């Protein structure tokens, strides 16, 4: 066995398989919790646990083998319908998943000394198998004392009722008769349902609320409710507080009347649909075709070589143009340029292929969110539906890694501050379940990510008050700022509208981290919000950071590159077009007052002799605009981004460097960094005639 332990290949294969199986396990548990048809998902869960047990046994990982073996035992009981699925079981499976992740990390660090204790979860699994209610059928009926069916309950409802008993809650039946003179009886039934949900949780109604027509003349309805109140207290409370009723009687639900021998009501078409959906869970992760695992370092090396090839080709092309100009009658120079053009096409194709090898579907990032949203919603007593769109959209793996934390911050804020509790949403006339949608799609040479919720929105006045209180802005500044500018203050460090700090958010550091990360990736973030409607955050990112299209300019005979993603437009201005507002140089572009920056003032660059005309490159970061004064425009081209290196280190205002066709080095300017370094506030876009 020691030989197996000492085999790096064996361990590498084990780690890769474990990671895949753990991801699959998490998806299955989430699906099991949120879907009616469970048979296929349980089968897949069993297969995953069995695979993990076999792999861990082969590698000599005893603790993982024992834990997965006990998971198998529980899943086998569920699969054979000897145990019903309850919230307790779902939570136990999630605990198993978390422990398996910890075991994997501990094994990678020191496989001979693993101090993760699994005794507690093994005891919990044993208790569940001994104590949890058993069942023989998927769908059961509650029979009234006169043997007439009062409610039809499916598998999940029965589990919910029995779990409530374990939690020492009361399961009650409310017999309600509304006044025969009451108008719009169906609406009255819904109002009573909302009222009862505030006191507990309505499991079922008879007749079903969704089947009662608007013009119904039905007067009687039964509600099955789980609540902490006893029957007498609920009856007294209902009679005192519910309007337009003739009778409101409450009695205890007799759990012994569960008829566990009732046959399942099978709807073949619906079951087939649900089973197909469950099967999709397994099939979506599979790719038909041949694949080869390649070490990431090899891909990085390949990308660097393609970059070097691109640089050298640019130099060859430049030399060819010089020779062609010098020897115009020599046909060899024409041949050289022709070959250079052909090589350029090949390099472009090679570059595209290599870039695609670095691309990963963003689903790998999305897979982190369902569990996180589920746990956060549960801890905050919120009901949230997570919708993921565009998981197949591909993005550079390095950007996916960098975007993990920013998206987590945004999602946590949406859940904690944005989406209301079910009770609050019902009072506001919203569905009790909140919606959180995360989308990804390609737009030109960028990937756009959106995070949208249907919560309370961002209160602009609260942001303004908090910013003034924290002395981020003055009250005079606030009066002059637009709504979008005020909203963007949420990205300022230390600023939060939360009334109190929670374990989830409220310290005012999360969105600052988000903005800094996106700026580092040469991205743009925008916020749209409406009070009572919700908030949408849009992030636009480049496809890759290795090669970008840049605008080459000269400042005092030195070449600089600007990312084209930040370039809005280029204009030419005379000295007469430059004016000053409180010491800040400004000019008018398309009837807007734009502040100007001269890098000579910040990078100790000698000033060139002034010309009557200057070039102004209008740059944009989110909603902010400023003009960069340059001496000369060279043109735009594909540039290979090179880090400045540890010797030079990070310099504010620079994001890297590139090698040009003539072999010279050009610094790549960090537009967001320059904006922070300059530190001026955006000049109010006013009419030029109003400038002092």
455-483, pLDDT tens digit by residue?
999 998 888 888 888 888 888 888 888 88
**Residues linked to residue 530 through DSSP beta bridges, in sequence order:** 534
Q: How confident is the model at residue 321 (pLDDT cuts 50, 70, 90)?
A: confident
Q: How confident is the model at residue 513 (pLDDT cuts 50, 70, 90)?
A: confident
Q: Identify the H or E element spanning 615.
A: strand 613-621
Q: How confident is the model at residue 437 (pLDDT cuts 50, 70, 90)?
A: very high
Rounded Cα–Cα distance for residues 639 and 653 (Å): 18
Q: Identify the H or E element spanning 317.
A: helix 296-326
DSSP 383: -
Rounded Cα–Cα distance for residues 636 and 553 (Å): 9
Q: Above 80 in pLDDT, residue 336?
A: yes
Q: What is the dihedral of CA 89, 91, 92, 98, to 10 degrees?
A: 150
- What mean pLDDT comes out for the span 406-418? 91
Q: Are strands 624-630 and 613-621 parallel, antiparallel or unpaired?
A: antiparallel
Max mean pLDDT among 347-351, 488-492, 558-562 falls in 558-562
- What mean pLDDT comes out for the span 154-177? 83
Q: How confident is the model at residue 690 (pLDDT cuts 50, 70, 90)?
A: very low
Which residues are the active-site residues? 50, 72, 413
Are 181 and 213 contacting, i.e. CB atoms less than 8 angstroms apart?
Answer: no
Max mean pLDDT among 292-306, 340-354, 499-513 falls in 340-354
State residue 503's pLDDT score: 52
Q: What is the pLDDT of residues 183-208, one digit of tens each?
A: 778 888 888 998 999 999 999 898 88
Rounded Cα–Cα distance for residues 509 and 525 (Å): 16
Q: How confident is the model at residue 342 (pLDDT cuts 50, 70, 90)?
A: confident
State residue 524's pLDDT score: 84
Q: Above 90 in pLDDT, residue 165?
A: no
Q: Give residues with Cβ within 8 angstroms of 678, minimum separation 6.
A: 597, 602, 626
Q: Above 80 in pLDDT, residue 381?
A: yes
**More confident position, 433 or 566:** 433
- The string of DSSP codes covering 218-234 is --EEEEEEEESS-HHHH
Question: In 10 A of CB 266, how many CB atoms?
Answer: 10
Q: What is the pLDDT of residues 295-313, one digit of tens each?
A: 777 877 887 788 778 778 8
What is residue 382's three-state secondary structure?
A: coil
- The string of DSSP codes covering 197-213 is HHHEEEEEEES-GGGS-
Rounded Cα–Cα distance for residues 244 and 191 (Å): 11
Q: Give residues with Cβ within 8 angstroms of 69, minimum separation 6.
A: 53
Are 423 and 198 contacting, i.e. CB atoms less than 8 angstroms apart?
Answer: yes
Phi, psi (degrees; rounded to nearest 5) at 588:
-100, 125
State residue 570's pLDDT score: 92
Place of tokens 């009616």: 36
Nearest to 150 by CA among 206, 211, 218, 225: 206
Alpha carbon 158 to chain centroid distance?
34
Rounded Cα–Cα distance for residues 177 and 189 (Å): 10
- What mean pLDDT comes out for the span 285-294? 54
Q: What is the pLDDT of residues 362-380, one digit of tens each?
A: 998 898 899 899 989 988 9
Rounded Cα–Cα distance for residues 504 and 494 (Å): 15
Q: Above 70 in pLDDT, residue 689?
A: no
Q: How confident is the model at residue 438 (pLDDT cuts 50, 70, 90)?
A: very high
Q: How confident is the model at residue 145 (pLDDT cuts 50, 70, 90)?
A: very low
Rounded Cα–Cα distance for residues 459 and 413 (Å): 14
Place of tokens 């919560």: 455
Among the listed ranges 111-120, 256-265, 292-301, 671-680, which one has the minimum average pLDDT value? Answer: 256-265
What is residue 498's three-state secondary structure?
A: coil
Q: What is the pLDDT of residues 62-121, one digit of tens each?
A: 889 999 999 988 888 888 777 788 888 989 999 999 999 999 888 888 877 788 889 999
Among the listed ranges 261-265, 289-293, 315-319, 354-358, which one has the minimum average pLDDT value? Answer: 261-265
């Amino acid at each position: 066995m020691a030989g197996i332990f000492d085999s790096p290949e064996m361990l590498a294969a084990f780690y890769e398989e474990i990671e895949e199986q753990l991801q699959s396990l998490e998806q299955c548990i989430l699906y099991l919790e949120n879907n009616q048809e469970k048979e296929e998902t349980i089968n897949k869960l069993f297969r995953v646990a069995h695979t993990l047990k076999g792999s861990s046994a082969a590698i000599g990982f005893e603790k993982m083998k024992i834990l997965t073996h006990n998971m198998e035992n529980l899943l086998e009981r569920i699969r054979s319908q000897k145990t019903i699925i309850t919230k307790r079981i779902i939570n136990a499976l999630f605990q198993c998943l978390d422990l398996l992740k910890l075991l994997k990390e501990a094994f990678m660090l020191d496989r001979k000394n693993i101090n993760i204790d699994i005794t507690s979860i093994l005891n919990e699994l044993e208790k569940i198998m001994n104590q949890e209610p058993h069942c023989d059928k998927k769908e059961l009926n509650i029979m009234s004392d006169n043997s007439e069916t009062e409610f039809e309950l499916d598998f999940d409802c029965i589990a919910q009722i029995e779990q409530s008993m374990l939690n020492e809650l009361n399961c009650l039946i409310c017999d309600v008769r509304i006044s025969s003179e009451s108008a719009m009886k169906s609406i009255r039934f819904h109002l009573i349902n909302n009222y009862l949900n505030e006191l507990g949780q309505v499991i079922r109604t008879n007749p079903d609320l969704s089947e009662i027509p608007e013009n119904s003349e039905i007067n009687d309805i039964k509600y099955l409710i789980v609540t902490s109140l006893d029957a007498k207290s609920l009856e007294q409370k209902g009679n005192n507080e519910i309007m337009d009723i003739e009778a409101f009687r409450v009695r205890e639900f007799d759990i012994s009347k569960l008829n566990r021998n009732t046959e399942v009501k099978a709807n073949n078409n619906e079951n087939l649909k649900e089973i197909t959906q469950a099967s999709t869970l397994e099939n979506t992760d599979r790719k038909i075709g041949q694949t080869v695992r390649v070490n990431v370092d090899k891909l990085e090396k390949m990308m660097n070589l393609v970059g070097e090839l691109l640089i050298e080709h640019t130099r060859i092309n430049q030399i060819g143009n010089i020779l062609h100009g010098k020897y115009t009658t020599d046909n060899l120079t024409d041949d050289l340029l022709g070959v250079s053009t052909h090589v350029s096409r090949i390099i472009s194709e090679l570059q595209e292929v290599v870039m695609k090898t670095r691309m990963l579907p963003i689903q790998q990032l999305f897979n982190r969110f369902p569990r996180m949203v589920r746990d956060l919603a549960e801890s905050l007593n919120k009901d949230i539906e997570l919708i993921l769109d565009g998981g197949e959209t591909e993005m550079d793996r390095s950007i996916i890694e960098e975007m993990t934390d920013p998206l987590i911050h945004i999602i946590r804020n949406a859940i904690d501050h944005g989406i209301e509790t079910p009770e609050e949403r019902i009072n506001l006339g919203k569905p009790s379940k909140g919606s959180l949608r995360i989308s990804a799609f390609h737009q030109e040479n960028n990937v756009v990510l959106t995070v949208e919720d249907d919560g309370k929105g961002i209160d602009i006045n609260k942001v303004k008050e908090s910013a003034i209180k924290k002395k981020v802005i003055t009250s005079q500044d606030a009066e002059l700022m637009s709504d979008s500018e005020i909203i963007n203050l949420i990205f300022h460090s230390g600023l939060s509208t939360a009334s109190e700090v929670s374990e989830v958010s409220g310290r005012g550091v999360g969105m600052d981290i988000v903005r800094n990360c996106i700026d580092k990736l040469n991205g743009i973030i925008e916020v749209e919000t409406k009070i009572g409607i919700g908030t949408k955050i849009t992030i636009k990112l480049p496809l890759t950071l290795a090669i970008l299209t840049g605008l080459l300019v000269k400042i005092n005979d030195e070449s600089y590159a600007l990312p084209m993603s930040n370039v809005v437009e280029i204009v030419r201005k005379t000295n007469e077009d430059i004016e000053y507002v409180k010491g800040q140089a400004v000019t008018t572009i398309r009837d807007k007052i734009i502040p100007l920056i001269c890098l000579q003032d910040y990078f100790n660059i000698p000033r060139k002799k002034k010309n009557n005309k200057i070039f102004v490159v209008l740059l944009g970061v989110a909603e902010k605009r400023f003009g960069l004064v340059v001496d000369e425009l060279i043109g735009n081209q594909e540039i290979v981004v090179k880090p400045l290196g540890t010797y030079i280190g990070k310099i504010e205002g620079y994001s890297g460097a590139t090698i040009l066709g003539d072999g010279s080095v050009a610094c790549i300017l960090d537009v967001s960094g320059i904006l922070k370094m300059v530190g001026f506030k955006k000049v109010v876009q006013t009419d030029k005639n109003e400038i002092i």
